[in-house]
Chain A
């Protein structure tokens, strides 16, 4: 991150040698303390809100009895299943349409008509087809992931240095070799970014499906906690979902930096 010519007045990055309280956490920590204090000082009792301490207790209990982890597993299976399925479809469509303008024209109207449909609007129809369960959720997640991966992959493939495609022509690489040896490696860093963004979306859609209808996973547990008027557990689930999403993204960013180096986001990777 350190740019050599970075202006000196950029907010100082936390020094790596001396540990200091990260400045970004000051505001959230203050809010939590303020919330806790206001509950204590006002003596407020509620069926809709819970003090942070109660949320922590509920979270620890939920983790200890395995309830939260089981739900997390279900949500992640659905999210990753949908990401894999939708990502694969999006990848194939993106490569095909980025490489061949005829295919691009052929599919243009169909995809532009389907793409704006909100994935949550798909839930009732999907229930009719699959009923409740993983297949319902995977289908909804796959639908939204397809578009993210497709659009970014198409742009990545279309943006490949034309000279490289010419080199492939001059060397007389066959279509399969061209795709495997030139197109995919050249587009890979940007395709990875597409999957990273789609992974975030996958979690959103998975939880949405669970909150709205599907009786599995974190979203369903959260709804049931809410309906049984347990605000502490409901908020605990919320905090946990945020943590899962954050971890997932952090993990993927770490992976991206390790695999593609700092050039990962620019599409000009120099390392394997």
Chain B
């Protein structure tokens, strides 16, 4: 907390953050999995995103921040194939994204609406396996494994309405993992949860991602969360949404809710993002 209290931190680029002027960062190390080039999105005739250029490495944890209405969610939906760009291309693994893909999973913020209320926890996970065509005989074990993985052991027979908010979001994550996704798109997944649950889930998702070496595209409005989770944080400037800032986080992993958040580098990044958001909203 001491660094935060120190007055007027300079807005200088942090040592190992990519200079935000050269926005199309050559992804350092690792092949590019998701590639957006000159992406424009219009919704109802209104430009929402303009000239988005972005390469995401395989295994990277990328966080997107920005003020409300800056197009964060639209950007995620474009990568998901739920929204088609009016210009430019989105490609996953070199293939243009024209519709949702089996290996790209989406975790929605409103878990309560994204789960099937008439199916049990196990049944909800099963839906993804059914969609994938996993043989019936294999499903039970996979479901048990996935539920255990997200901390829902023994909850398979419960209906979503019988689970707490945090557990429902865990369940949605389990359903997404059942897709065995190469890419996990998360749209403010912890935004509706209380602070304690949020921190627990942040650490759990980091652990899951480390295990599976998944690529994560994580939208959040919580700047600290973005720095805490991400390898890289991108800030969108609004009207229309465009990449305004790109920071390499470079904090060592595994991260820790106390020590990482007290790290001066963490605080400096947080300050940079905070100033950026304030500027764009001014």
Contacts and interface: CB of A to CB of B under 8 A. Distances in A.
Contacts of A181: 116, 127, 130
B105 A271 contact: no
Interface stretch (A83-91, A103-111, A147-155, A158-166): A158-166
Interface stretch (A24-32, A138-146, A170-178, A216-224): A170-178
A272 interface: yes
Contact of A177 (B82, B108, B131): B131
Given A163-B110, A177-B130, A270-B117, A170 B161 contact: no
A171 B118 contact: no
Nearest to A272: B118
A126 interface: no
Contacts of A66: none
Interface in B75-123: 80, 82, 99-102, 104-106, 108, 110, 113-114, 116-118
Interface-central residue, B128, B131, B179, by most chain A CB under 10 Å: B131
B116 A182 contact: yes
A171 B114 contact: no
Given A171-B179, A177-B130, A270-B159, A166 B116 contact: no
What range describes how many residues of B lie at the interface?
A: 20 to 34
A170 B117 contact: no
A166 B114 CA distance: 8
A271 B99 CA distance: 33
A161 B101 CA distance: 22
B277 to A, nearest CB: 27
Given A172-B102, A177-B130, A270 B118 contact: yes
Given A270-B159, A270-B161, A171 B131 contact: yes
Interface residues of A, number: 21
Interface-central residue, A167, A170, A171, A172, by most chain B CB under 10 Å: A170
A188 B116 CA distance: 13
A170 B106 contact: yes
Contacts of A127: none
A105 to B, nearest CB: 20
22 contacts: A161-B113, A163-B110, A166-B82, A166-B114, A167-B114, A169-B100, A170-B80, A170-B82, A170-B106, A171-B179, A172-B101, A172-B102, A177-B130, A181-B116, A181-B130, A182-B116, A185-B116, A186-B116, A188-B118, A269-B117, A269-B118, A270-B159
Given A171-B100, A172-B102, 7 more contacts: A163-B108, A163-B110, A164-B116, A172-B99, A185-B116, A185-B118, A271-B118
Interface of B: 80, 82, 99-102, 104-106, 108, 110, 113-114, 116-118, 127-128, 130-131, 159, 161, 179
